[in-house]
Structure 1
């Protein structure tokens, strides 16, 4: 540190300039033999096989289970790209806030000869609501080409659905938060999505305890709530 720098004053740039991370020990076998890198590793920036140029700063990405599509959150929108051509094929709009979470469900199998009009992909996304306090989830139905499915000709009323969901065509919108810290939004078989409603206990403005988090199981096939789990007394992570 130079003499003209005050040792008691620090900012981000000064911290990164002087801070060093010392590794206490590296990976090793039980016998103490140091681990070696896998062939072709480590990877460095500049070694990418392909790049997709965006119109803004990405907030969160997700790749479809068949590795054909890439979804990228940019501000309040979701941009869908094809992996093979790197071309943008659709922009999904409807979130009231910045998109912070994206997750594809395991393949639905739609878009085939047997199911030409069924969605091929199901993509869940989360942003904050208009007040910036609670979460807001949209589940998108995408066709085989990656574009948003057109609205159905006839909308069937489903029990236990209208009270919790605002359905607009192939969009299913409702309040809630998707899992964090690596939690999976969908079950391995792709039949259930898990999210949390009222994932806080205290009111944002008054600090008073007034909420009770509720874990919700959403049925992918019927596009409706299957079950709700109550009992948590604090935020569900």
Structure 2
């Protein structure tokens, strides 16, 4: 089995199978591509590697990223640091901007720390106000002994509710005396109203660690996927559990995503005995399709019209298929020397930026964007001078206009799309 350093030394980036246009034409390089990291339009130097994926506001004006136990906030256009948010109990591991602003024009930012290192987790909610000066106005709204969801989870609903998880230990048993926990000590999804600073719902039912909490585009439903092998669908208004999917065949569940076009369609990823993605119908309770993979996937994305769903799975591969039938539409794959190399070339940060534009990244840092409507492809990868001995912890973040790629040296590289 190879390690990360050996993988980085051997990895060539050769592609075996590429996406093409709907008519079957291969995509051509966008002007100036492929690009190396040294060609970034702009860079932000953090001082040391971040453990959190950066977050962009919906207008691409501000960027937040964890740096140690603080959060640094930058103006994207100028790369100037607007402020530092202190007071988190451990290394910051996740940051999420809300899509909506508060009544007084503030931007919501949710932060969690202390999850991956096994310490007491903490979620802190901030409001940020940028008045155009170099000084950011920041207020700490609330703090909870909890965590945000992982693997594509939402931190906010369209209604402005904060979504977080408490009591999220990885087993329902106490290690010391093996006593089954009481219901109120089991993993719980919380909806917290930012405007009134009150808890709207505590959603209980899972008996093992919740990995992902996703929200439908209309905000009417939430879904949680957990290691107990079940995915639960919740009514956001009443807090009622509408449907429980699983256990499918004994495996843990890792991530979930609603179709943007149909809140009845939910994709769920499973691990063990092998990777699978299930597409389920909430209204009927039926599984529409199941697509098998050799290994698990933690990155799911729907095409905006709901006609296709994609995931990063198997050695160095991204698959796109019809959710109703499971029939594969297209796939993208690296050319790798052996299976060991493949298991370390896992896709992540997968998303559709526009109806026909798909973006993704691999563990070692290379980012790809395929614009199938314009028949163009983009690549952002390490150059000879970008030596790394390990994979970046933080993933790329992108919008319809920007790509931001972190590295292991604490540099964020910014390109325009």
Q: TM-score, normalised by structure 1?
A: 0.71
Does 1:65 pair with 2:51?
no
In structure 1, the partner of 2:78 is 85
1:139-218 map, 5 Å: 139-145=125-131, 146-149=136-139, 170-187=140-157, 189-200=158-169, 201-202=171-172, 206=176, 208=178, 209-210=180-181, 211-218=185-192
Q: How many residue pairs align between the two structures?
A: 200
Does 1:224 pair with 2:214?
no
Task: Give 3-state SS (helix, strand or coil) of 2:122's partner.
Answer: strand
d(CA) in 2 for partners of 1:216, 1:39: 46
Task: Give 3-state SS (helix, strand or coil) of 1:46's partner.
Answer: helix
Name which of 97, 102, 108 aligns with 1:122.
108
Cα offset for 1:233? Answer: 1.7
Cα offset for 1:108? Answer: 1.2
d(CA) in 2 for partners of 1:101, 1:144: 21
Q: Greater relative contact order: 1 or 2 (C-alpha under 8 angstroms, separation 6 or more)?
A: 2
Q: 1:36 to 1:206 in 2, by over 3 A?
A: farther
Structure 2: unaligned runs, 5 residues or longer: 212-417
In structure 1, the partner of 2:101 is 108
d(CA) in 1 for partners of 2:26, 2:32: 18
CA-to-aligned-CA distance 1:190-222 (integer Å, 9 cap, x gap)? 511211111123468538453411111111221
In structure 1, the partner of 2:122 is 136
Q: 1:207 to 1:86 in 2, by over 3 A?
A: farther
Q: TM-score, normalised by structure 2?
A: 0.43
Name which of 68, 89, 100 aligns with 1:96.
89
d(CA) in 2 for partners of 1:78, 1:177: 16
CA-to-aligned-CA distance 1:21-42 (integer Å, 9 cap, x gap)? 7755322457754343445544
Q: 1:51 to 1:37 in 2, by over 3 A?
A: same
Give the root-mean-square deviation of aligned CA atoms: 2.9
In structure 1, the partner of 2:307 is none
Name which of 18, 43, 68 aligns with 1:26.
18
Q: 1:91 to 1:21 in 2, by over 3 A?
A: closer
d(CA) in 2 for partners of 1:50, 1:15: 28
Contact 2:172 2:207 in 1 (8 A): no
Name which of 66, 69, 75 aligns with 1:76.
69
Q: 1:10 to 1:220 in 2, by over 3 A?
A: closer
Does 1:235 pair with 2:204?
no
Contact 2:102 2:108 in 1 (8 A): no
Contact 1:134 1:198 in 2 (8 A): no
